Amino acid sequence: MKAAVYYETGAPDVLRYEDVPDPEVTDHKVLVQVEAVSIEGGDTLNRLGGVMASTPHIVGYQCGGTIVEVGAAIRRREVGQRVVCTMPYGSHAELVAVPAAGTWLVPDGLDPASAACVPIPFGTADDCLFEFGRLQPGETVLVQAGSSGVGLAAIQLAKRAGATVLATASTDEKLARLAEYGLDHGINYRDGDFADEARRLTGGKGVDLVLDSVGTTLNGSVRSLAYRGRLTMIGNAGRDRLRFDPAPLMAGCQSAIGVALATELSIGSPRAHRNIERLLDLVAAGQLRVVIDSTFPLAEAAAAHQHLEDRKAFGRVVLVP
């Protein structure tokens, strides 16, 4: 099969498009013909300096396609079913072999590219807002990096729940586009201190909940919080060393919690798996929207990664084998 691989971590140009052996299908796995790959922020971080499971390494942990083979022990998956999959690595390829527990059936009417963009971004956003963030109707939430995959999902989910939604982005153009997904107040973080602006927009009170996927913004996110506000931390897209001071949380009786959907899925959480199934149904029904910024051939994975890292994307960047 063909795959986008690298022999050493680094900038996007380490990616190569090469022939590699087909993945092995063991008793508890299914083999999926990949039709769409959603590039996740973690994929770019892994390529930049993460652990390589093999040499060459195939990065990527989310894709969608059709089952072409099932392991001997599999009972609830069949050849020909359309599925979306998550995995530790390996999505940037024509074929993936994944445990059946890491797959979800794609609802009728939902295209492979959109389905491939749902589990991690929407599942993460939902967990941050509700399972760990305890968002209630009438509260105010600040979403960092609103035009990212998690950001767009969080804006829609928070608005559906009756919250007032603030979000940050790097341009006024991106903020204007976010309005149709439920954004109430946009903050261009290049124009000034986003925490000061969040407090101004809330009449000095601060927000009840912040979703922070950037990492380097954590201290500002804490300053954005209201009394007894909550902060959910879900990544380090800023890529710099985190310098987070938790001391101010005490003065405001506030809380911060790390969220990793991958951990929930790896321990076999039935709640997390059911939640992603529910979110796929909502997207298929048109009640939530997947936003795809651009689509690249798998052979141009390096260019796709560069596009994402240049912060040009509004929504997901997808690879098609």
Q: Which of 262, 279, 310 is the last residue of a domain?
A: 262
134 and 247 housed in the same domain:
yes
Token pair of 167, please?
Answer: 């979000």
Same domain, 201 and 298: no
Q: Tell whether 93 is covered by a domain.
A: yes
- Asked whether residue 306 is domain-assigned, the answer is yes
- In a shared domain, residues 164 and 252: yes
pLDDT of residue 236: 74
pLDDT at 210 over 60: yes
Please tell me the total count of domains within the chain: 2
Q: Which of 275, 260, 161 is nearest to 213 (CA)?
A: 260
Q: How many residues does the chain have?
A: 321
| Average pLDDT across the chain, whole number | 95
pLDDT in tens, 229-248: 999 999 776 566 677 888 89
Name the residue with higher pLDDT: 244 or 123. 123
User: Which of 262, 281, 302 marks a domain boundary?
Assistant: 262
Rounded CA gap, 65 and 309, in Å?
A: 25
Would the pLDDT of 128 be above 70?
yes
Please report the pLDDT score of residue 235 as a whole number: 77
Identify whether residues 144 and 107 lie together within a single domain. Answer: no
Q: Say if residue 224 is in the same domain as residue 93.
A: no
Q: Mean of the pLDDT values across residues 68-85?
A: 96
% of the chain at pLDDT higher than 90: 90
One-letter amino acid at 276 equals I
What pLDDT, in 10s, does the model give residues 246-300? 889 999 999 999 999 999 998 989 999 999 999 999 999 999 999 999 999 999 9
Regarding whether 35 and 58 lie in a shared domain, the answer is: yes
Same domain, 199 and 181: yes
Q: What is the torsional sign of CA 77, 80, 86, 90?
A: positive
| Whether residue 124 sits in one domain with residue 256 | yes
Instruction: Answer yes or no: do 31 and 107 share one domain.
Output: yes
3-state secondary structure of 25: coil
- 20 within domain boundaries: yes
Has residue 277 been placed in a domain? no
- CATH code, domain with 222: 3.40.50.720
Q: Give the model confidence (pLDDT) of 135-178 as tens digits.
A: 999 999 999 999 999 999 999 999 999 999 999 999 999 999 99
Does any domain span residue 39? Answer: yes
Tell whether 282 is covered by a domain.
no
CATH number for the domain spanning 301: value is 3.90.180.10
pLDDT digits (tens, 9 = 90+) for 53-65: 999 999 999 999 9
Residue 153 backbone phi and psi in degrees, to 5: -65, -45
Separation CA 34–CA 20 (nearest Å): 15
**CA angle, 128 as apex, 156 and 117 as ends, to 5°?**
55
Both 130 and 204 in one domain: the answer is yes
Could you list the residue range(s) of the whole structural domain that residue 313 is in? 2-117+291-320
pLDDT of res. 237: 65
- Residue 52 inside a domain? The answer is yes
**Token pair recorded at residue 303:** 């260019």
Please indicate, yes or no, whether residues 150 and 183 belong to a single structural domain of this protein: yes
The answer to whether position 181 is within a domain reads yes
Same domain, 45 and 72: yes
